[in-house]
Structure formats: structure tokens, C-alpha cells
Amino acid sequence: MSYKRGLALVSVIAMTGVLLLGLTLGVQAAEERVIYMAAIEPKGGVTADKEPYPAVELPKGGGYVKKAPDAATGRWEVSVYQWSPATVVVRQGERVTLEMVGINGAKHTAHIDKYHPAHFEVKRGEITRVSFVADTPGIFKIHCKEHEPAMEGTLIVLPR
């Protein structure tokens, strides 16, 4: 094989590679991205003889729950409502579906700045799907009405 023919062959292979890469990225961009989330409530507890019940109030709004020591056992508990994962990262232009399941808390009345300003509900034992095209890059909050201020997620849309 001559040097020129060899070079031409290498060029064709390289161009094919670039073309295939371009096609693959194009297909990925058109695909729907499903992100699985859960409405959760991590909880901790201890008896007052081991750790005294903290007198300081937690922020109001339903997001934090603190139960005073039980009369019989002396056990007190603290919990927080959260989205899991609390931060969701997608790329601009992606078709996104958030598939949310309710694990704890009877109901979460939620909305997402810019992408889903209308309220939707996530109920315990049920799946709620929210779909949108992430057309605008930025940082957006995922709010829950019943569990402020703690149950606030973040949607990050990375610019292309």
C-alpha cells in the first residue's frame, strides 16, 4: 500500500468514527431520561437517659419532626422529609421524566420552578411521573408544600 492510499484509508476510518460518534450522541439526545426519586423520611431516636431531649425548636413548616420523650420508654425521635436523590442533574435539551414514589408521608404536594409550576401529588405507595424537555439551563427548586423548608430538591440543567 502506498503512503497516500494508506493516509486516505486512515482518513476514511477517522471520518466514519466521527460520523458514528455524532449519530450516537444524536440518538442519546433524543432519548428520554428517566430519573427515579423517592419521598423519604430518615429518622433517628434515642432514650432521654442516654441523650437529653433537645430544648431548641426545629424550623416550622412540617419538614422537620421532633417527638418528645415517650412517657413509658423515654424514647424521643427526630426525622426530616426529603427527596432522594435531592439533587438531579440533566443536560439541556434532554427529555426528562422524574419517576417519584412515595415512601413516607401520606402526601407531598409538589411543584418544580419553571418546568412544572402546577402542583402534582406524590402519595405513599404510588408512582407519580413528571415529564418535560429541559430546554433552559439553570438551577431550579423542587418544592414540597407539606414539608417546608427541608423537603426541597434541586434540578440542575447543564448548558449544552
Q: Give yes or no for a contact between 75 and 84, defined as CB atoms under 8 angstroms apart.
A: no
Give the interface segment with Cu ion, choosing from 8-16, 53-61, 96-104, 136-144 (CB under 5 A). Answer: 136-144
Q: How far apart are CA 24 and CA 88, in angstroms?
A: 23
Side-chain half-sphere CA neighbours of 89 within 13 A: 3
Mask of contacts with Cu ion, 81-120, x by CB under 5 A? Answer: x--------------------------x------------
**Closest approach of Cu ion to the CB of residue 87, in Å:** 16
Q: Report the amino acid identity of residue 104.
A: N
Does position 143 interact with Cu ion (CB under 5 A)? The reply is: no
Single out the residue of 37, 144, 150, 157 in contact with Cu ion (rule: CB under 5 A): 144
The set of cell numbers assigned to 126 is 404510588
When the beta carbons of 29 and 38 are compared against Cu ion, the nearer one is: 38
Sign of the dihedral defined by the CA atoms of residues 13, 16, 18, 21, in that order: negative
Give the interface segment with Cu ion, choosing from 20-28, 64-72, 73-81, 84-92 (CB under 5 A). Answer: 73-81
Number of residues that bind Cu ion (CB under 5 A): 6
Q: How far apart are CA 92 and CA 98, in angstroms?
A: 15
Does position 147 interact with Cu ion (CB under 5 A)? The reply is: yes
Single out the residue of 88, 151, 155, 157 in contact with Cu ion (rule: CB under 5 A): 151
When the beta carbons of 97 and 128 are compared against Cu ion, the nearer one is: 128
- Per-residue CA distances from 7 to 1, 2, 16, 18, 55 (Å): 10, 9, 14, 17, 78
Chain positions contacting Cu ion, by CB under 5 A: 81, 108, 144, 146-147, 151
